[in-house]
A and B are shown apart, each in its own frame.
Chain A
Amino acid sequence: MDLVIATVSQGLLWALLAIGVYLTFRVLDIADLTVEGSFPLGAATAATLIVAGSHPLVAIVAACVAGMLAGVVTGILCTKFKIPALLAGILTMIALYSVNLRIMGKANLPLLQQDTIFTIWNLGMDKMMTTLVIGAVIVLVVALLNYWFFGTELGTAVRATGFNPHMIRANGINTDNMVVLGLLLSNGLVAISGALVAQSNGFADVGMGVGTIVIGLASVIIGEVLFGTRSFKNCLISVILGSIVYRAVIAIVLQMGMPPNDLKLFTAILVALALSMPLLQARWNKIRKGGR
């Protein structure tokens, strides 16, 4: 039971990362690697502020703003300077490595004995349940905000930009601004996720962003396959559930005795398989038809 609670709450904290990756990878149709830098950026910003005595909520908001700025940098690189989005994300990610070290002043910042978002309110529950409840509340609020925003005229324009930039330009909307806005929102969410994970783990580490893009992708794809993509609302829910399922899968393979060091390899293979699924499926169907 403890393991289930821990898995679900980890899934919730990482769900914001998954939503962020969904916003770029699916909504904007960009593979944005900024994520690998904005996740630890959120962690570093929040941890540094908490150690300096800030309220954990303030620290999370600051982390979000920092992540948004990182997203804007990538956005400007790829729209105003026409650097391919993938490369623009890599550049920001690399730059953020130094930025994160500067923010923390060292590679690892422990949050032992510090008040975090998971300890400041006494909900009369143990630490694990508190993490679950607070994680759920935050994810719910973020999901509702996303649902609202992407239903507004502006949000609809961002989504249409990813589907068909020609169409949206022909309707009078500056696609460059929409791309920047999408990257801003995405990286803001990713940074919040980093801030939450740091507080839950009890430390921020400059290396904690490695592989986050793949974790995000895994969550998005698992969610889409298992829970559907009928509408934007459906996708949002799928991605959140996908993040939880991903954590469950990880927990199960670890229980089965897989060395934790192999986790990233495992995740990468999982995502590669999932992404090649449509092609493999088409081939398979062809072979089966041919055999008849």
Chain B
Amino acid sequence: MLHIENISKTFNPGTITEKLALHNVSLHLAPGDFVTVIGGNGAGKSTLMNSIAGTYPVDEGRITIDGTDITKWPEHKRAKYIGRVFQDPMMGTAAGMMIEENLAIAARRGKSPTLKWSSSADSRQHFRELLMGLNLGLEDRLESKVGLLSGGQRQALTLLMATMAQPKLLLLDEHTAALDPKTAEKVLLLTDKIIKQQKLTTLMITHNMRDALKYGNRLIMMYEGHILFDIDSEKKKNLGIKDLLAMFEKAAGSELNSDSLLLS
């Protein structure tokens, strides 16, 4: 499904702040794979995600989705295949617009906008049904501005928006990191439900080792711009946090020094 071949990315090349963020990374996702990605700060998780999404171009390598080479495609064109939820709850929705308007935009992800009126009675009914699935009472608030929603509600809405037009690939960039633990868990359960329902191929970054082990059928650990190890579903089932840490020390030859990873 997703084929990443030897991609590299250096930020600010030739300057004092030069940073090799991705080094020869290759990754293949089979259809329906739900891969969790962990790693300390600066490991390259977000760079990998943004390279796939096209936020910036990669220096080397190739990215294909279902055989289509998207390496040179701009961000907005890749959106045809990719649904995304960001870490910042503000990023995924337009705060000043109504829930309905946000959904109408997401419902047409990847299609050129036309001069058709963006909302209709049919679409409204469809949106209401989808919102009911979130169990947040948003189905009665179609005309509320998204800015009035809480962070958790906004992430749930963004998740719905990212998945309502059936993306080939779903990218979740620490999408629960900004939420309180209880809300984070709710949003994660919802995420899992939607992914299973639609059998979505998913890449999910998380800071939380427990979540990384609990969700998905594959786990990759990143370190200093490359993939340290890749654990398949058989091995992942029997793995604990201690095992992960031991594997990390063995592979990286150093202790994991990210507090946020250890504490969570």
Asked if A234 is an interface residue, CB under 8 A from chain B, the answer is no
- Chain A residues with CB below 8 A from B74, complex form: 174
Q: Which residues of chain B are near A164, meaning CB under 8 Å?
A: 90-91, 93-95
Rounded to whole Å, the gap between the CB of A27 and the closest CB of chain B is 10
The reply to whether B116 and A153 form a contact with Cβ atoms under 8 Å apart is yes
Contact between chains at B109 and A152 (CB < 8 Å): no
- Shortest distance between the CB of A206 and any CB in chain B (Å): 37
- Chain B count of residues within 8 A CB distance of the other chain: 38
A61 to B59, CA, bound (A): 48
Q: Point out the residue from B83, B91, B104 that lies within 8 Å of A167, measured CB to CB.
A: B91
Complex: how many Å from CA A153 to CA B112? 9
State whether the Cβ of A180 lies closer than 8 Å to any Cβ in chain B: no
Task: Say whether B97 contacts A154, CB under 8 Å.
Answer: no
Please tell me if the beta carbons of A172 and B111 are within 8 angstroms of each other in the complex: yes
B77/A172 in contact, CB under 8 A: yes
The answer to whether B106 and A171 touch across the interface, beta carbons within 8 angstroms, is: yes
Q: Which residue, B79, B86, B105, B114, has most C-beta atoms of chain A within 10 A?
A: B105
Give A71-126 interface residues, CB cut-off 8 Å to B: none
How many residues on the A side are at the interface (Cβ–Cβ under 8 A)?
A: 24
- Chain B residues numbered 66-112 whose CB sits less than 8 Å from any CB in chain A: 74-77, 79-80, 82-84, 86, 90-98, 101-102, 104-106, 108-111
Interchain CB contact under 8 A, B105 and A168: yes
Give the docked Cα–Cα distance between A174 and B80 (Å): 12
Within 8 A of B (CB), among A146-186: 148-149, 151-157, 159-160, 163-164, 166-175
Q: Which of A152, A167, A172, A174 is within 8 Å of B92, CB to CB?
A: A167
Residues in chain A near residue B108, CB distance under 8 A: 153, 171-172
B115 within 8 Å of A by Cβ?
yes
Inter-chain CA distance A149–B116, complex, in Å, is 9
Q: Which residues of the other chain, B, contact A166 by a CB distance below 8 angstroms?
A: 86, 91-92
In the complex, chain A residues whose CB is within 8 Å of the CB of B82: 170
| Of the residues A159, A171, A231, contact of B109 by C-beta under 8 Å | A171
Known contacts A151-B117, A152-B118: A171-B105 contact under CB 8 Å: yes
Q: Is the CB of B92 within 8 A of A170?
A: yes
In the complex, the chain B residue whose C-beta lies closest to that of A174 is: B76
Say if the beta carbon of B38 comes within 8 Å of chain A.
no
In contact, B114 and A153 (Cβ under 8 angstroms): yes
Minimal Cβ-Cβ distance residue in B for A150: B118
- Complex formed: what's the CA distance from A164 to B114 in Å? 20
Report which residue of A151, A152, A160, A167 has the largest number of chain B beta carbons within 10 angstroms of its beta carbon: A167
Chain A residues near B98 (CB, 8 Å)? 231
Provided the pairs A170-B84, A172-B80, A175-B76 are in contact, do residues A153 and B118 lie with their beta carbons within 8 angstroms? yes
Residues of B within 8 A of A170 (CB): 53, 75, 79, 82-84, 86, 92, 162
Smallest CB–CB gap between B145 and chain A, Å?
A: 9
Query: Is B75 a contact partner of A169 (Cβ separation < 8 A)?
Result: yes
Known: A160-B97, A170-B53, A172-B76. A154 touches B84 (CB 8 A): no
Of A160, A174, A175, which contacts B105 at CB under 8 A? A160
List A residues at the B interface (Cβ < 8 Å): 148-149, 151-157, 159-160, 163-164, 166-175, 231
Nearest first, the 3 closest Cβ-Cβ pairs linking A and B are: A172-B79, A163-B94, A153-B113
A-B contact pairs, 19 of them (CB 8 A): A149-B115, A151-B117, A151-B118, A152-B117, A153-B114, A156-B105, A156-B118, A159-B94, A160-B97, A167-B92, A170-B82, A170-B86, A170-B92, A170-B162, A171-B106, A171-B109, A171-B161, A172-B79, A173-B113
